[in-house]
Structure 1
Amino acid sequence: LPARCYTEPVKGDNSEASVLDYDRWQEMLTEYYSLRGWDYDGVPTADKLKALGIGAYGRGL
Structure 2
Amino acid sequence: MQYDLHQDNQDPNVFVFLERWTGYDVWHDHMESAHIKAYIALADDLVNEFVVKEMHAIG
TM-score (norm 1): 0.25
The structure with more helix, counted as a fraction of residues: 1
Structure of greater relative contact order (alpha carbons < 8 Å, 6+ residues apart): 2
- TM-score, with structure 2 as normaliser: 0.25
